[in-house]
Amino acid sequence: MPDRTRPVRIDDVIAVKAIEDSCFPSPWDMDVFVTLASSEGCITLSRGKQVSMQVIENNGSVAGYIIWEDCPDTSEGRVLNIAVGKNLQRRGFGRSLLQHVFDSLVERGIKTAALEVREGNLAAHRFYERMGMEELGRVPNYYDDEDAIIYSITL
Ligand SMILES: CC(C)(COP(=O)(O)OP(=O)(O)OC[C@H]1O[C@@H](n2cnc3c(N)ncnc32)[C@H](O)[C@@H]1OP(=O)(O)O)[C@@H](O)C(=O)NCCC(=O)NCCS
C-alpha cells in the first residue's frame, strides 16, 4: 500500500525530474519543480488562485507526484501533471495522489476538477475513468502533435 502524500521539498526535485523524464515525451523543466519546492509546495497567485504540488513516498523515496491549480473565482480545479515512477505503477500511488487532490479541492470549496490528457495515453484514460472522471471533450492539437481529451468530475 502507498505510504503517504506530502508537499514537495527541495530534496525531492531530482527524483521528481527523473520520473518526469521517464514518463513524458515533452517533460517539464526542472525550474517548475524547484519553484514549487521552494514555496513549500504551494504558490498563491492573484485572486486566491493556488498552484500546489504533493509527492507520495514509498519506503522513504519519491514514488510519484501531482501538481494542480484551483481557482476559487470559478470554483474549478485543474490537474496539471501527475506521474508515478514506472517501476511503481499499478500499486495505487496514482489513486492516492488524485484522491488527495479531489479532497483538497472539496476543502477549498471547489466543485469540479478537470484535466487534459494525450489522446493516445490510454493507460491514463483508464486511470481517470477508474477515478470517476468522464470524458468532456477534445482540444485539437493541444500538444502540437496530438489532440487532448478533457476529463472532468463533479466533486
Ligand atoms: C497514470 C498514472 C499516474 C497512474 O498511476 P498508478 O499509480 O499507476 O495508478 P493506480 O495504481 O493508482 O491505478 C488505479 C486504477 O487505475 C487504472 N489503471 C491505472 N493504470 C492503468 C493501466 N496502465 N492500464 C489500465 N488501467 C490502469 C486501474 O483501474 C487501476 O486499478 P487496478 O490496478 O486496481 O486495476 C501512471 O500510469 C503514470 O504515471 N503514467 C505516466 C505519466 C502519465 O501518463 N500521466 C498522466 C498524464 S495526463
Mean pLDDT per block of 10 residues along the chain (155 residues) reads 83 98 96 97 92 96 97 92 98 97 95 96 98 97 94 97
pLDDT given for residue 74 in this prediction:
86
Q: Find the 63 Cα to ligand 1 centroid distance in Å.
A: 13
Whether 149 maps to a domain, the answer reads no
155 near 112, Cβ under 8 Å? yes
> What is the number of domains present in the chain?
1
| 22, 76 contact by CB (below 8 A) | no
User: In this structure, is residue 134 part of a structural domain?
Assistant: no
Q: Tell me if 82 CB under 6 Å of ligand 1.
A: yes
Residue 80 lies in a domain: yes
Q: Ligand 1 centre from 40 Cα, in Å?
A: 26
Q: Is residue 104 part of a domain?
A: yes
Residue 83 within a domain: yes
Candidates 131, 96, 105, 103; CA nearest to 5 is: 96
Question: What is the domain-level CATH number for residue 29?
Answer: 3.40.630.30
| Structural domain for 102, as ranges | 4-111
Looking at residue 88, what is its pLDDT? 97
The whole-number pLDDT of residue 145 equals: 87
SS3 30: helix
Candidate from 89, 127, 149, 150 with most ligand 1 atoms within 8 A of CB, to mutate: 127
The answer to the question of residue 119 being in a domain is no
Q: Does residue 18 lie within any of the structural domains?
A: yes
Q: What is the pTM of this model?
A: 0.97
